[in-house]
Amino acid sequence: MLIELEKVTKIYNQDQVNEVTALMDIDLKVADNSMTCLRGASGSGKSTLLAIIGCVFQPTKGRVSIAGKQLSRLPDRFLTLHRRQYIGFIFQNFNILPALTVRDNITLPLVPLGMRPAEMNKKAQRLMERFSIDHRKNFPASQVSGGELQRVAIARALINDPPLILADEPTAHLDSRLSDEFMRFMTELKSSGKTIMITSHDPLVTEHADVDQVIDIKDGRIYAA
Ligand SMILES: Nc1ncnc2c1ncn2[C@@H]1O[C@H](COP(=O)(O)OP(=O)(O)OP(=O)(O)O)[C@@H](O)[C@H]1O
Ligand SMILES: [Mg+2]
């Protein structure tokens, strides 16, 4: 099982006046090769949960196991290594660097690995062809369309071939055509064996036929419907 959480609690600014309990006692198991949606109102804890699953930071309490490894006691350096190996992240605004070319945006996650440029470009090339953005590879990202940008973000998440793809409100800034297209790509990735987790309250996402389970979060707790 790629994702297993047990009694996970996240408290921001613990013991300070601005303390926030963002997650409380979350138990969660996600089947491999499935597509899961996290749904909840603004502030319910979706991004926090995704960040913990994505090995961005540790929970305050509880046990998190990603790809069979117990994260709770890993030092930050190993958490980062684990993230690079197992997680592909797609952000809400896609977090694309506008001044970099399409290709350099896609290879960005490989830079800390010290990979040779020729090898990085070969990996990027395959993905750019797969997502039909090859003809824009030398364009600065500021000069490509919204749909192309979305495909750049997906390609970047896949550059390391991680088994787990996490997307935080990926359709928030997309029209319905591009949202549909985004979900088609996610379906394709699921068919290719990936496990996918998406936070969203967009019905185009949460009610999509290829979503296996929708998890409702309310005030930091999983809410059984
Ligand atoms: N870095 C932080 N420091 C302190 N509090 C935070 C921090 N990040 C989030 N929070 C708080 O934790 C709670 C959960 O936030 P989170 O971002 O996980 O919610 P969300 O469900 O993703 O919301 P949205 O739909 O608006 O993105 C909120 O009350 C938020 O204000
Ligand atoms: Mg959020």
CATH number of the domain that 105 lies in? 3.40.50.300
Distance between CA atoms of residues 29 and 25, nearest Å: 13
What's the angle, vertex CA 95, arms to CA 92 and CA 97, rounded to 5? 155
Q: 5 is written with which tokens?
A: 């959480």
User: From ligand 1's centre to the CA of 51, what distance in Å?
Assistant: 11
Q: Which atom of ligand 1 is nearest to the CA of 20?
A: 5
Structure tokens at 18: 């601005």
Question: What pLDDT sits at residue 173?
Answer: 86
- 171 C-alpha vs ligand 2 centroid, how far in Å? 12
Cα 4 vs. chain centroid, distance in angstroms?
16
**What is the C-alpha separation between 192 and 33, in angstroms, rounded?**
9
* Phi, psi values for residue 33, rounded to 5°: 60, 40
Ligand 1, atom 14, residue with closest C-alpha: 45
Q: Taking each helix axis as running N to C, give the angle between helix 117-130 and helix 146-158, from 0 to 180 degrees, rounded to the nearest 10.
A: 130
pLDDT of residue 93: 75
pLDDT averaged per 10 residues in sequence order, the chain, 225 residues: 96 97 97 97 96 94 94 86 93 87 95 91 96 96 93 95 96 91 96 97 95 97 83
H-run or E-run covering 23:
strand 20-30
Which amino acid is it at 28? L
The rounded distance, in Å, linking the Cα atoms of 113 and 181 is 31
Question: Which atom of ligand 1 is found nearest the CA of 18?
Answer: 4
Residues of the domain holding 172: 3-223
The predicted pLDDT at position 169 comes to 94
Task: Name residues contacting ligand 1 (CB within 6 A).
Answer: 12-13, 20, 22, 40, 42-48
pLDDT at 113: 87
Answer whether 197's CB lies under 8 Å from 165's CB: yes
Closest CA to 159 of 192, 126, 198, 194: 126
Tell me how many domains the chain contains: 1
Name the token pair of 91: 């952000």
Query: DSSP label at 146?
Result: H
The whole-model pTM stands at 0.94
Helix axes 146-158 and 176-191, enclosed angle (nearest 10): 20
User: Ligand 1: distance of its center to the CA of 115 in Å?
Assistant: 35
Nearest-CA residue for atom 12 of ligand 1: 22
CA dihedral 49, 55, 59, 65 (to 10 degrees): 90
For the CA of 39, the nearest ligand: 1
Out of 12, 17, 197, mutate this one to test ligand 1's pocket (max ligand atoms within 8 Å of CB): namely 12
Return the sign of the alpha-carbon dihedral for residues 55, 104, 36, 200. Answer: positive
Give the distance (Å) from ligand 2 centre to CA of residue 91: 10
